[in-house]
Amino acid sequence: MASLKGKPPLIGWLEERLAFDAIQSFVAHKRVPKHSATMWYYFGGITLFLFGIQVATGILLLLYYRPSAAEAYESVQFIVTRVEFGWLIRSIHSWSGNLMILAAFIHMFSVVFLRSYRRPREITWLSGVGLLGLALGFGFSGYLLPWNTISYFATKVGTDMAAAVPLIGPTLARFLRGGDDVGGATLTRFFGFHVAVLPALTTGLLLVHLFLVQSFGISSPPRVEEQNRASGGPAPEMPFFPNFFLRELMAWYAALAVLGMLAAIFPWELGEKADPFAPAPAGIRPEWYFLAPFYTLKLIPSHVWMFEGELLGLLGFGLLAAWWVTLPFWANDRSGGERTRLLTGTAVVLIAYLATFSALGYWK
């Protein structure tokens, strides 16, 4: 109790019960490698920051949103036209979702190029890929919620792709739609996924991911490890607080500046209300992060040998995803050496594929 003397009673009461001293001691003694000041190490924190923006703005939108086919569009229209700064909150929510997925992709590829998946961080990699998958789930489920024409027919395309999955496709599509076609039941289900199921799964997996990152620390690229071995001394370090923390904070400020600029200058459009009985308008396409597989499936002939073209494409994407997820387990050969050229080449080809086919899918 001696350490609490001289402090306001409320502060002393809180410190005694919330272990502020232990937290302060941990932060004061925590150190990180000096090379972590490189810009690529900040994208994980930026992704987490944007997720926090998503949660905060999503809660504000929930105060007015009504998840039914009869009222969803009108409730969003009310938010952007009648609620004070409602248009800005919705734009921030939509733009931050897109930037979060972009930051997650950059973080994933930086992990590959910096070799941060290596032993003993295999489970950290798996949890990170899982979080990226959940972020894509947020994007897919949230896209339908405004119940406008573009989102309605894009969801039809997405659930039709799910229906083509071997064996479980029809069951999976019916589960997602809540029936045989996209309708009010689909909207209700996607709302439940978006505000309850996915946030719960993301929170749990995020805690696991952060725990693993804290347990194993920030990894060092092979080049830095070789330099440390050559010098014969310990790896250069710097205090987490305030050195690394302030740098991370500046990265958050930069992300917030970009987000605010996009939301203010390019407000997210609402479009027209969905009409299930109207013909699909020309040029329907999914969000940008699904454009590459979407355009690839369009290029595959309807029949290839004895297979349906779409089925063959989905099988290919499934195998590619499984190969990528298990990257830490095949990254080394039998002698223990890293397959550096294979890993780097794979990542470069994958980035080129995603960029090129996303651009083609958008313009064609």
Average pLDDT over residues 27-56: 91
pLDDT of residue 308: 66
Residue 43 lies in a domain: yes
Residue 177 lies in a domain: yes
**79: domain range?**
38-231+240-290
Total of domains in the chain: 1
- In one-letter notation, the amino acid at residue 122 is E
> pLDDT-derived band of residue 5, with 50, 70 and 90 as boundaries?
low
Three-class DSSP category at 307 = strand
> pLDDT-derived band of residue 107, with 50, 70 and 90 as boundaries?
very high
Is pLDDT at 302 greater than 50 in this prediction?
yes
Residue 214 lies in a domain: yes
pLDDT of residue 221: 85
Which is higher by pLDDT, 309 or 349? 349
Of the ranges 180-194, 218-232, 238-252, 268-282, which one carries the lowest mean pLDDT score? Answer: 218-232
Residue 112 lies in a domain: yes
Return d(Cα 34, Cα 225) in angstroms, integer.
Answer: 12
Residues 6+ apart with CB under 8 A from 291: 285, 357, 358, 361, 362
Residue 102 lies in a domain: yes
CATH number at residue 177: 1.20.810.10
Is pLDDT at 266 greater than 60 in this prediction?
yes
Q: How many residues does the chain have?
A: 364
pTM of the complete model: 0.91
Residue 92 lies in a domain: yes
Of the ranges 18-22, 85-89, 176-180, which one carries the lowest mean pLDDT score? Answer: 18-22
Three-class DSSP category at 18 = helix
pLDDT of residue 141: 96
Phi, psi of 239 (to 5 degrees): -65, 140
List alpha helices for 122-244, DSSP H.
Answer: 122-144, 149-163, 169-177, 184-192, 198-216, 222-231
pLDDT digits 0-9 by tens, 344-364:
999 999 999 999 999 999 887
